[in-house]
C-alpha cells in the first residue's frame, strides 16, 4: 500500500513539476539547446507521471477519466499522427525525429500524456488548480530574473545558453514575448483571486510589472494584439457575469480590462517608437523568417496532388523534405535559399500538410471543443470562477498561436498542460463529470481494460526512452561541433561523435558529422604522412571509417538530400585524390541528392565540378546552367561558367557571368580578379584596372591581381603607377625573373609585350 501511495505522489508532483519547470528549464551548457532541454523535461517527467497514474488505477481496480470533449478531441491528434506515419511508411524521422522536433508521433503522445496527467491530478482536489497556477507564476519569476540578468550583463550567458541578446530560456525571442504576454494577462486576472492570496500577491505583482517591462523590450506587435484580444474577451466575460453576480463588483473590472485592451494598441502600433526611447543595450531586434501562407499552401498543393496523400499527408516530420521538393523557386533569390524549414507558416497548417485531412480533422475537433468551452464560459458567466475564465482564455490564446505561428516546445507543452488544467477545473466545478471503468481481473472487460492501460503506459515509456536517446545523441553531436570550433581538436570531437553513435547508432546526423570530421582527419594525415606502413594503415583505416559513415547516413534515411550531398562530397574528395570508382560514386550520389531536393542547385554545382575535373566543359556547362535556372544568383555557378566561356574565347558570355559574380558577391576578391582578367583579355583596360583595384582593396597582398593591375596601368599609359604596383609584387616574388624583366623594360622605356629578338 505504501508503494501505491508513493505512486500517487509521483503522479501529483510530476504534474506540478511540469507547471513549474516548463517556462525556465534549461541545461547550462552551450551544446544543449533550449528546445532540446524542454523536450527532455517532458519525455522524462510526463511518462513517469502517467505510469504512476496507471499504477494508482490498477491499485483501485478502476480508473476515472473526465467526460470532456476536449480530452477526447486532443486524443485524435496523436492518433492521426500515428496513422499518418504508418500509411506514409514507418520511419524513425516520423516517429521520433531528432528528439527535439514537435511534428512527430512520440512528441504528441508525450504532450497528450501531459494533458491527461494535468487533468486527472488537478481535478482531484479543489486547491490544486490554484497551486498549479502559483507554480506557473513562480516559473515566470525565474524567467524574468534570468532574462533581466542577461540584459544587464550580456557577457553572463548562463553557460552559453543565452549567447546573443535576442535569446531566451523559454525558446526563441518571439516565444519569450508570447509567454510573457500570456503571463501578463494571467497575472492581471489572478491578482484578486485565491491564487495570489497572502505573500503570493507580491509574486503576482512582480510578474505583472516585469512582464510588461520586458514586453516593451521584446517589441513584437502580435504579442500586444494577442494580449489585447484576450483582455477584450475577459472584459466581455465580466460584463456578462455582472448582472447575475453583483458580488463581482459591478462593471469596474470589465471596464479595466477593456481599458487594457485599448491601451495595448499603443505598443502594437508604436512599439518601434517606444523601443527607440529605451537605452541602446535594450534596443534588441531579431529577424524571424518562416514560409508564408502562400508558400505553405504551395507545398500542401503539391503534396496533395498525390491522391494517396490527401487523407494522411506526406507523413509526420516530413515538411523539410517536401519543402526541398516543392518550394517556390522565388525563395532561391533570398538569403534563405539553402534553409531547410521544418515548419510552414504555422504549426497547425504544417500539421495539415504532413498528416493530411486526418490531422486537419483532429485539430479542428480540438478547436471546436475549445470554442464550446469558451461559449459555455460565457453562458455560465455568472457562476464561472475567474480561475476557470483565465484557463479557458489562456487555452484559446495559445491555440490561436499554433495556427498563425510555430511555438517552441515550451509553449506547445504549456498549451496541453493548460488544456488539462481547464478540464480539471471543470471537473471540480461540476461542468464535466467523470467516467469510471473497471480494471478488475474478475471480468473479461476488466482484464482487457487493465491490459490496454498497462500496454499504453509501456508504449509511452518506450517512446520516451527512444526520444531521450535521440535527444542525447543530438546533444553529443552539438558537443562535437562546439569542441572542434573551440579547440580544433579532431580527436576530442570524434570521441563525442562516437559516443553519440553509441547512444543512437541510427543517427544520420551523427554519421554526417563523422564524414565531416573524417575529411578533416584525412587531410591532416596526408599532410603529416611520412610514407611508413603505419601511417598508410592509419590513413586507410580513417578512409574506410569515413566511407562507412557516409554510407550509413544514406542507409538510415535515404530520403534526406543532405545525406546524399555529404556522401557525394566525400566521394568527390576521393576522386580528386585518384581513388578508383570514386568519381562515378560521387556522380550517382549527386544525382540522388538532386532527385530528393530538385529545388536546390548544389547537387548540379557538384556535378559540374566533377565534369570540370575530368575536362568535360560541355557537360559542366549544362549542369551549371541548370543550377542557375534554379538559383539565378548562384555566384559559384556564374564564376565557373565565366571560366568555361573564357576558355572557349566567348569573352562576351564570360564577361556577363563574371559581372554577375561581383554583383552577388561584391566583397569577394577572387570574383573581382576573375572579372578583371576577362575585361583585360577583352581589351577593356580601364574597367579591368577598376576590377583589380577592388580585388586588391579586399586582399592587399593579392599578387596575381596586383600583377595584372600593373599591366593594366601600363596599357593605360600610366607607367609610374604600373612600376609602383609591379615593384610591390616583386617584393614578395624576388626570384621571378620574368617579372623583373618586365619591370626593367618599363623602366628603360621598352615595350614589355614586344616579342623578344633572338
30-39, 182-191, 327-336: least confident range: 327-336
- Mean pLDDT, rounded, for 569-591: 91
Does position 244 have pLDDT exceeding 50, yes or no? no
pLDDT at 758 (0 to 100): 46
User: What is the rounded distance in angstroms from the CA atom of residue 313 to the CA atom of residue 298?
Assistant: 14
62 DSSP β-pair partners:
438
Does position 165 have pLDDT exceeding 70, yes or no? yes
Contact between residue 325 and residue 598 where contact means Cβ atoms under 8 Å apart: yes
pLDDT band at 729 (very low <50, low <70, confident <90, very high): confident
Residue-wise pLDDT for 693-708, tens only, equals 999 999 988 999 999 9
Does position 376 have pLDDT exceeding 70, yes or no? yes
Domains, in order of start, for the chain: 2-461 (no CATH), 509-618 (1.25.40.10), 633-758 (1.25.40.10)
Does position 669 have pLDDT exceeding 80, yes or no? yes
pLDDT band at 243 (very low <50, low <70, confident <90, very high): low
pLDDT at 248 (0 to 100): 44
pLDDT at 742 (0 to 100): 87
C-alpha cell at 90: 514507418
pLDDT at 474 (0 to 100): 95
Residue-wise pLDDT for 407-449, tens only, equals 999 999 999 999 999 999 999 988 888 888 877 777 777 788 8
Does position 687 have pLDDT exceeding 50, yes or no? yes
pLDDT at 739 (0 to 100): 85
Does position 634 have pLDDT exceeding 90, yes or no? yes
Does position 690 have pLDDT exceeding 90, yes or no? yes
pLDDT at 72 (0 to 100): 95
SS3 call for 416: helix
pLDDT at 250 (0 to 100): 54
Does position 561 have pLDDT exceeding 90, yes or no? yes
pLDDT band at 372 (very low <50, low <70, confident <90, very high): very high
Return mean pLDDT, the chain.
91
Share of the chain above pLDDT 90, in %: 73
Does position 226 have pLDDT exceeding 50, yes or no? yes
Does position 1 have pLDDT exceeding 60, yes or no? no
User: What is the rounded distance in angstroms from the CA atom of residue 648 to the CA atom of residue 637?
Assistant: 17
pLDDT at 5 (0 to 100): 65
Contact between residue 387 and residue 195 where contact means Cβ atoms under 8 Å apart: yes
Using alpha carbons only, how large is the chain's radius of gyration in Å? Answer: 32
Quickly count: other Cβ atoms within 10 Å of residue 644's Cβ: 21
pLDDT band at 15 (very low <50, low <70, confident <90, very high): very high
10-24, 35-49, 457-471, 733-747: least confident range: 733-747
N- to C-terminal Cα distance for the chain? 111
Does position 249 have pLDDT exceeding 60, yes or no? no
- Mean pLDDT, rounded, for 709-738: 88
pLDDT at 3 (0 to 100): 52
Nearest Cα to 478, choosing from 461, 493, 457?
493
Residue-wise pLDDT for 384-394, tens only, equals 889 999 999 99
Most confident of 159-173, 528-542, 721-735, 738-752: 159-173
User: What is the rounded distance in angstroms from the CA atom of residue 750 to the CA atom of residue 758?
Assistant: 16
Share of the chain above pLDDT 70, in %: 97
Output b/e per residue, 240-258; b: 16+ Cβ within 10 A.
Answer: bbbeeeeebeeeebbeebb
Residue-wise pLDDT for 590-601, tens only, equals 999 999 999 999
User: What is the rounded distance in angstroms from the CA atom of residue 188 to the CA atom of residue 190?
Assistant: 6
Amino acid at each position: 500500500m505504501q508503494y501505491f501511495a508513493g505512486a500517487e505522489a509521483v503522479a501529483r508532483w510530476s504534474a506540478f513539476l511540469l507547471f513549474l519547470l516548463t517556462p525556465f528549464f534549461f541545461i547550462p551548457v552551450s551544446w544543449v539547446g533550449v528546445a532540446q532541454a524542454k523536450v527532455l523535461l517532458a519525455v522524462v517527467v510526463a511518462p513517469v507521471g502517467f505510469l504512476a497514474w496507471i499504477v494508482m488505477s490498477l491499485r483501485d481496480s478502476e480508473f476515472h477519466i473526465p467526460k470532456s470533449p476536449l480530452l477526447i478531441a486532443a486524443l485524435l491528434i496523436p492518433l492521426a499522427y500515428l496513422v499518418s506515419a504508418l500509411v506514409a511508411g514507418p520511419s524513425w524521422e516520423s516517429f521520433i525525429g531528432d528528439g527535439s522536433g514537435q511534428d512527430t508521433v512520440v512528441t504528441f503522445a508525450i504532450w497528450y500524456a501531459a494533458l491527461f496527467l494535468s487533468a486527472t491530478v488537478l481535478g482531484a482536489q479543489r486547491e490544486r488548480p490554484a497551486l498549479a497556477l502559483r507554480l506557473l507564476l513562480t516559473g515566470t519569476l525565474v524567467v524574468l530574473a534570468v532574462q533581466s540578468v542577461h540584459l544587464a550583463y550580456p557577457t553572463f550567458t548562463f553557460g552559453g545558453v543565452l549567447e546573443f541578446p535576442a535569446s531566451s530560456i523559454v525558446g526563441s525571442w518571439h516565444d519569450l514575448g508570447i509567454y510573457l504576454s500570456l503571463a501578463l494577462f494571467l497575472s492581471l486576472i489572478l491578482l484578486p483571486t485565491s491564487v495570489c492570496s497572502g505573500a503570493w500577491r507580491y509574486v503576482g505583482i512582480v510578474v505583472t510589472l516585469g512582464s510588461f517591462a520586458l514586453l516593451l523590450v521584446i517589441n513584437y506587435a502580435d504579442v500586444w494584439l494577442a494580449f489585447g484580444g484576450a483582455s477584450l474577451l475577459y472584459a466581455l466575460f465580466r460584463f456578462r457575469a455582472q448582472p447575475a453576480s453583483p458580488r463581482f463588483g459591478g462593471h469596474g473590472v470589465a471596464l479595466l480590462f477593456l481599458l487594457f485592451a485599448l491601451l495595448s494598441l499603443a505598443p502594437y502600433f508604436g512599439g518601434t517608437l517606444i523601443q527607440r526611447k529605451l537605452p541602446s543595450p535594450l534596443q534588441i531586434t531579431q529577424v524571424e523568417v518562416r514560409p508564408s501562407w502562400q508558400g505553405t499552401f504551395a507545398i500542401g498543393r503539391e503534396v496533395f496532388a498525390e491522391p494517396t496523400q490527401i487523407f494522411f499527408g506526406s507523413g509526420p516530420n516530413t515538411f523539410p523534405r517536401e519543402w526541398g521538393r516543392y518550394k517556390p523557386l522565388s525563395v532561391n533569390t533570398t538569403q534563405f535559399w539553402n534553409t531547410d524549414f521544418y515548419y510552414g507558416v504555422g504549426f497547425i497548417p504544417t500539421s495539415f500538410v504532413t498528416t493530411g485531412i486526418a490531422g486537419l480533422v483532429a485539430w479542428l475537433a480540438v478547436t471546436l471543443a475549445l470554442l464550446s468551452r469558451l461559449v459555455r464560459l460565457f453562458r455560465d458567466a455568472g457562476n464561472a470562477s475567474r480561475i476557470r475564465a483565465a484557463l479557458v482564455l489562456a487555452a484559446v490564446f495559445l491555440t490561436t498561436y499554433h495556427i498563425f505561428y510555430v511555438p517552441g516546445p515550451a509553449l506547445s507543452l504549456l498549451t496541453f498542460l493548460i488544456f488539462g488544467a481547464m478540464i480539471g477545473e471543470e471537473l471540480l466545478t461540476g461542468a464535466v463529470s467523470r467516467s469510471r471503468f473497471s480494471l478488475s481481473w474478475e471480468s473479461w472487460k476488466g482484464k482487457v481494460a487493465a491490459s490496454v492501460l498497462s500496454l499504453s503506459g509501456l508504449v509511452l515509456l518506450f517512446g520516451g526512452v527512444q526520444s531521450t536517446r535521440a535527444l542525447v545523441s543530438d546533444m553529443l553531436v552539438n558537443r562535437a561541433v562546439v569542441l572542434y570550433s573551440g579547440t580544433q581538436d579532431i580527436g576530442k570531437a570524434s570521441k563525442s561523435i562516437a559516443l553519440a553513435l553509441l547512444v543512437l547508432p541510427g543517427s544520420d546526423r551523427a554519421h554526417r558529422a563523422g564524414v565531416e570530421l573524417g575529411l578533416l582527419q584525412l587531410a591532416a594525415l596526408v599532410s603529416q604522412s611520412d610514407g611508413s606502413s603505419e601511417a598508410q594503415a592509419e590513413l586507410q583505416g580513417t578512409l574506410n571509417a569515413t566511407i562507412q559513415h557516409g554510407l550509413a547516413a544514406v542507409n538510415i534515411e535515404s530520403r534526406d538530400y543532405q545525406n546524399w550531398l555529404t556522401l557525394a562530397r566525400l566521394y568527390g574528395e576521393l576522386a580528386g585524390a585518384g581513388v578508383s570508382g570514386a568519381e562515378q560514386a560521387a556522380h550517382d550520389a549527386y544525382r540522388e541528392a538532386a532527385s530528393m531536393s530538385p529545388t536546390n542547385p548544389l547537387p548540379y554545382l557538384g556535378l559540374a565540378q566533377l565534369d570540370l575535373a575530368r575536362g568535360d566543359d560541355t557537360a559542366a556547362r549544362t549542369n551549371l546552367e541548370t543550377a542557375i535556372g534554379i538559383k539565378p544568383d548562384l555566384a559559384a555557378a556564374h564564376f565557373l561558367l565565366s571560366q568555361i566561356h573564357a576558355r572557349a574565347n566567348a569573352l562576351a558570355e564570360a564577361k556577363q557571368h563574371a559581372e554577375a559574380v561581383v554583383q552577388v558577391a561584391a566583397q569577394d576578391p577572387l570574383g573581382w580578379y576573375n572579372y578583371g582578367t576577362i575585361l583585360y583579355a577583352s581589351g577593356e583596360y580601364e574597367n579591368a584596372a577598376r576590377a583589380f583595384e577592388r580585388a586588391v582593396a579586399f586582399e592587399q597582398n593579392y599578387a596575381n591581381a596586383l600583377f595584372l593591375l600593373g599591366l593594366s596601368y601600363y596599357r593605360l599609359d600610366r607607367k609610374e603607377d604600373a612600376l609602383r604596383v609591379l615593384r610591390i609584387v616583386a617584393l614578395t616574388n624576388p626570384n621571378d625573373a620574368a617579372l623583373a624583366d618586365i619591370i626593367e623594360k618599363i623602366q628603360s622605356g621598352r615595350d614589355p609585350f614586344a616579342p623578344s629578338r633572338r
